[in-house]
Amino acid sequence: MNKSEVHIIIKRILFSLLLLALFVPMIQRFTHFSYVIPLDGAFTAPPTPEATWSNWFEGDYQSAQEEFLNFNIGFKPFFVRVYNQISFSLYNQAHLANAVIGKDNYLYEVQYINAYKGEDFIGVDSIKLKVEKLQRVSDTLSKKGVDLIVMLAPGKASFYPEFVPDRFDIKNRTTTNYDVYIEELAKTDIHLLDFKKWFEEQKEISPYPLFPKTGTHWSNYGNVLVADSTIKYINSIQEEKYIPPLQITDIVRTREMRHPADDIEKGMNLLINIPDLEMGYPEVEITTGDCNPKVLTIADSFYWDMYNWKLSERAFDNGQFWFYNVTIYPDSYQELLLVKDVNTMKEVEKNDVVLLLCTEANLRIFAFGFIDELYKQYFPGE
């Protein structure tokens, strides 16, 4: 066999391999011969196109079919991860809405940076009015035997400002919603737990990170400390009811992230894992007492981890969690139940304590309409 024949054979082999590579995604789509890790996040799959005379000749069927095939192509999650990894590794870009890649690959959501800079400031007058309403609502609930507690959660940008990219120019900060809320709440007798300030004080002395490197929310170790402090505070203001203290039986040290500690990174759908901090994951025991106060929690996503390890169920006497003051849990696990479909005043008064938990980036919409709704019901003439 001469060189010319060898070259021809090699070319045919390479051409065959190329054709095979082109057909592999189609084969994968129909046979699923290889498992592909699905993408993280919420996606709406396009429906299977149905050809009719009208949509065929108008070109709608062809567009719908193209969208359907692009969504269902074999190995698509793998190709997406490769593309995202190239963008991240070579261009420092994240294909995730609101995601910001900080120094040393610390990940942020842009709204927390904006809140830390004061770019979402709603104004002194707006906050004063909200606090005035809150005081009157708190006083009214107190007369009915319900304690209201405001809990302020830190944001990742204010906790890790040193890793925020220079382009955000965080040195030129202005007045923030947090600054004014703290100032105005100090003038009242509203129960306040300022975990933003406390986290910053504990940052350098905490044995485990209070915030993860690649996620938005406080760490599991951090929210266990928050829960423990909240229980102790509730016990200090409740005269007749008592919550047994949390028992930490062990703390697992690991760099393997547990949800939601790497929620931003998961949403970026990368091929290679970003090296993480060594985190502490407490093993917590909750003893349900004979006279636990019933606690209603109105909160954003910073409460989810605590809710998932049964804080509301076991410590708060099966108290409800009103997520963003919209969806009611645990009821919505069985059938969707919305706050707008219940009598807010009657439901609130069934509880001994109401917790209003809000993270820094959500202070522009603090309490998510809960205060305004109760105010209208308690003071209809105003």
CA distance 16 to 8: 12
- Structure tokens given for 90: 């070579």
Give the pLDDT score at 44. Answer: 65
Q: Find tokens 């975990």 and name the residue.
A: 195
CA distance 80 to 268: 10
What pairs with residue 327 in β-bridges?
Answer: 323, 338
41 alpha carbon, distance to own chain's centre: 12
Helices (H), 92-216: 110-117, 124-143, 156-159, 177-185, 195-202
Three-state DSSP class for residue 295: strand
Element housing 264 (H / E): helix 263-268
If you write DSSP's letter for every residue of 137-165 in order, what string do you get? HHHHHHHTT-EEEEEEEP-HHHHSGGGS-
Helix orientation angle between 124-143 and 177-185, rounded to the nearest 10 degrees: 40
Give the pLDDT score at 255. Answer: 95
CA distance 146 to 241: 12
Please say whether the beta carbons of 344 and 369 come within 8 A.
Answer: no
CA distance 316 to 74: 47
CA distance 133 to 299: 18
Helix orientation angle between 370-378 and 124-143, rounded to the nearest 10 degrees: 60
CA distance 116 to 16: 57
Q: Which of 139, 120, 142 is nearest to 131 (CA)?
A: 139
**Strands ordered across the beta sheet of 147-153:** 191-194, 147-153, 353-359, 295-299, 321-323, 327-329
CA distance 232 to 244: 9
Element housing 248 (H / E): strand 247-254
Give the pLDDT score at 77. Answer: 77
Give the pLDDT score at 39. Answer: 72
Which pTM does this prediction carry?
0.86
Give the pLDDT score at 381. Answer: 82
Tens place of pLDDT per residue across the chain (382 aa): 666 765 666 666 665 656 555 555 555 555 665 565 777 766 666 666 677 766 666 666 667 655 655 655 656 777 788 889 999 999 999 999 999 999 999 999 999 999 999 999 999 999 999 999 999 999 999 999 999 999 999 999 999 999 999 999 999 999 999 999 999 999 999 999 999 999 999 999 999 999 999 999 999 999 999 999 999 999 999 988 999 999 999 999 999 999 899 999 999 999 999 999 999 999 999 988 889 999 999 999 999 999 999 999 999 999 999 999 999 999 999 999 999 999 999 999 999 999 999 999 999 999 999 999 999 999 998 7
- Residue type (1 letter), 166: D
Q: What is the 8-class DSSP label of residue 168?
A: G
